[in-house]
Amino acid sequence: MPLIDMPDFSTDLLAEFAARRTERVNTPVIQPAEPFLDMAGEDLRRRIFLTESETGANLCLRPEFTIPVCLRHIETATGTPKRYSYLGEVFRQRREGSHEFYQAGIEDLGNKDIASSDARAIGDATGILKALLPGRKLALTLGDQAVFEAVVKALGLPFGWQRRLIHAFGDMAHLEALLERLARPQPVTGLDPQIAEMIASDNEADLVVHIDRTMQETGYSTNASRSPTEIARRLKEKLELAETRLDGTALLLLREFLTLQLPLAEAPAALAGFADAAGLKLGPAVSRFDARLAALANADADLSAMTYRAAFGRPLDYYTGLVFEVTEAGSSAVLAGGGRFDRLLTLLGAKEHIPAVGFSLWLDRIEAARASR
Partner 1 sequence: MSTITIALPSKGRIKEDTAAVFERAGLAISAVGSDRSYRGRIEGMEGVEIAYLSASEIARELASGAVDFGVTGEDLVREGMAGADGRVEFCARLGFGQADVVVAVPEIWLDVETMADLGDVAADFRARHGRRLAIATKYWRLTQQFFSSQHGIQLYRIVESLGATEGAPAAGQADIIVDITSTGSTLRANHLKILSDGVILKSEACLVRARKPGHEQDPRIARIVEAVRAAL
Q: Least distance (Å) from partner 1 to the CB of residue 185?
A: 12
Q: Minimum CB separation from partner 1 for residue 267, in Å?
A: 27
Amino acid in position 294: A
Contacts of 201 (CB under 8 A, 6+ apart): none
Contact between 171 and partner 1 per CB under 8 A: yes
**Residue 323 binds partner 1 (CB under 8 A):** no
Residues 179-238 interacting with partner 1 (rule: CB under 8 A) = 181, 188, 190-192, 195, 211, 214-215, 218-220, 222-226, 230-232, 234-235, 238
Compute the C-alpha angle 186/187/188, nearest 5°: 115
Identify the residue among 20, 45, 72, 370 touching partner 1 (CB under 8 A).
Answer: 45
Tell me the three state secondary structure of residue 72.
helix
Neighbours of 271 (CB within 10 A): 24
Calpha distance 253→178 (Å, rounded):
15
User: Measuring CA to CA, how many Å separate 253 from each of 111, 246, 257, 261?
Assistant: 35, 11, 6, 15
Which CB sits closer to partner 1, 112 or 238?
238
55 touches partner 1 (CB under 8 A): no
Shortest separation between residue 52's beta carbon and partner 1, angstroms = 11
Question: Residue 83 CB, nearest distance to partner 1 (Å)?
Answer: 29
Nearer to partner 1, 146 or 235 (CB): 235
Q: What is the DSSP string of 226-286?
A: S-HHHHHHHHHHHHHHHT----HHHHHHHHHHHH-EEEGGGHHHHHHHHHHHHT---HHHH
What x/- string results for residues 123 through 162 when contact with partner 1 is judged by CB under 8 A? -------------------------------------x--
Please tell me the distance from the alpha carbon of residue 42 to that of residue 91, in angstroms, as a whole number: 17
Indicate whether 370 belongs to the interface with partner 1 (CB under 8 A): no
Question: Do 361 and 105 touch, CB atoms closer than 8 A?
Answer: yes
Nearer of residues 20 and 181 to partner 1, judged by Cβ: 181
Note the helical H segments in 9-113: 10-19, 34-40, 66-76
Min. distance of Cβ 218 from partner 1 in angstroms?
4
CB of 368 to partner 1, least distance (A): 26
* Residue 38 sits in the site that holds partner 1 (CB under 8 A): yes
Report if residue 92 touches partner 1, rule: CB under 8 A: no
259 binds partner 1 (CB under 8 A): no
How would you write 198-237 as a 3-class SS string?
HHHCCCHHHHHHHHHHHHHHCCCHHHCCCCHHHHHHHHHH
Q: Specify the 3-state DSSP secondary structure of 27.
A: coil
Count of residues of this chain found to bind partner 1 when the rule CB under 8 A is applied: 44
Q: Quick check: 167 binds partner 1 (CB under 8 A)?
A: yes
Tally of CB atoms within 10 A around 278? 19
Compute the Cα dihedral for 121, 125, 128, 134 and give only its sign. Answer: negative
Q: Which stretch binds partner 1 (CB under 8 A): 59-67, 116-124, 134-142, 311-319?
A: 311-319
By CB under 8 A, name the one of 15, 18, 28, 41 that touches partner 1.
Answer: 41
Q: Does 174 bind partner 1 (CB under 8 A)?
A: yes
Contacting positions for partner 1 (CB under 8 A) = 37-38, 40-43, 45-46, 160, 163-164, 167-168, 171, 173-174, 177, 181, 188, 190-192, 195, 211, 214-215, 218-220, 222-226, 230-232, 234-235, 238, 315-317, 347
